Amino acid sequence: MGRSNGGVIGPSVENTGTTDVTTNTYNSDDTWTRAQSAIAVVDVVVVGGGGAGAGHQGGGGGAGGVREFQGVAVSGPVAVDVGAGGAPAAAKGSAGSDSVFGPGGSEGQTMVTGTGGGESGRAATDGGGQGGSGGGASGTAGQGNVPPFSPSQGNPGASQSPGTGGGGGYGGAASGSTGGPGSPTAAGTVAEGGNGGAPNAAGTANTGNGGGGNGQGQPNGGAGGSGVVYVKAPAQPYAYYGSGVWDMRALYDYVKAGKWS
């Protein structure tokens, strides 16, 4: 049987406003979750892992591909894969891994991929690998923007004897032994190509930078830098209506907690 305890009647309250724009940074695999159900699209920057440099007068690794995309459709939690940088080996390093927002979705609609940077070549024996940006080499330099996207996600590496070509970068192609430049994005400067024949400098983590090559008789090049993913959710309007009718139990709890005014 219900029983009335009395209460307080006052004016109703309506609060309206706009939420803040939020940007999340992902340095490793994770899941993006929207803060408000009204969020239907987000802006993303996806940077693939950089390729590793090669040893023995080796070229520089290509930078990870960079994709900036606005209006990516979201309807709930979204998986985020952050690509690892290429690993150095006794001679030729490996390519970087892809970074992906929304793996398994439709590219450019619910999914955005930044391709890993291309591997580099040794001395006069290897060509550079293709990828987001291409690896440097002595023979054929690696091509960038593979697979092709518009706008381009990267640039080619350079060919320079005896194998010390630089890796391509997001901001431009490599030139001689100098890796291609990175480029400012909404999230900062990322994706620089590795220098060829350099003292095996590793790419900085979570930039997608390519690893540097190494000199004659030096076996290992530098590791590629891991990728990174940025997700920006837009501001959302909100409205909250609060009743002006308060029962005695609620009044007692608020007064006791010092929250009644």
Q: How far apart are CA 170 and CA 43, in angstroms?
A: 19
Percent of the chain with pLDDT over 90: 60
Query: For 1-10, 25-34, 52-61, 201-210, which range has the lowest pLDDT when averaged over its residues?
Result: 1-10
Residue 2 confidence (pLDDT): 43
pLDDT band at 121 (very low <50, low <70, confident <90, very high): confident
Asked if residue 57 belongs to a domain, the reply is yes
Asked if residue 261 belongs to a domain, the reply is no
Higher pLDDT, 51 or 123: 51
Is the predicted pLDDT of residue 216 greater than 60, yes or no? yes
Q: How far apart are CA 45 and CA 108, in angstroms?
A: 12
Query: For 13-27, 96-110, 147-161, 232-246, which range has the lowest pLDDT when averaged over its residues?
Result: 232-246
The answer on 77 and 204 residing in a single domain is yes
Asked if residue 63 belongs to a domain, the reply is yes
The answer on 36 and 134 residing in a single domain is yes
The answer on 161 and 187 residing in a single domain is yes
The answer on 37 and 101 residing in a single domain is yes
Total number of domains in the chain: 2
Mean pLDDT computed over every residue of the chain: 88
The answer on 157 and 116 residing in a single domain is yes
Asked if residue 2 belongs to a domain, the reply is no
Asked if residue 25 belongs to a domain, the reply is yes
pLDDT band at 118 (very low <50, low <70, confident <90, very high): very high
Asked if residue 31 belongs to a domain, the reply is yes
Tokens linked to 71: 């209006």
The answer on 72 and 13 residing in a single domain is no
The answer on 171 and 97 residing in a single domain is yes
pLDDT band at 31 (very low <50, low <70, confident <90, very high): very high
Q: Which domain holds residue 250?
A: 7-17+242-256
The answer on 196 and 125 residing in a single domain is yes
Is the predicted pLDDT of residue 166 greater than 80, yes or no? yes
The answer on 98 and 13 residing in a single domain is no
Residue 1 confidence (pLDDT): 39
Q: How far apart are CA 89 and CA 68, in angstroms?
A: 32
The answer on 113 and 213 residing in a single domain is yes
The answer on 249 and 162 residing in a single domain is no
As a whole number, mean pLDDT of residues 196-213 equals 93
Is the predicted pLDDT of residue 25 greater than 90, yes or no? yes
As a whole number, mean pLDDT of residues 108-137 equals 92
Residue 41 confidence (pLDDT): 93
pLDDT in tens, 170-194: 999 999 999 999 988 766 789 999 9
The answer on 251 and 202 residing in a single domain is no
Residue 161 confidence (pLDDT): 84
Asked if residue 82 belongs to a domain, the reply is yes
Residue 50 confidence (pLDDT): 98
Angle at 90 between CA 86 and CA 95, to 5 degrees: 20
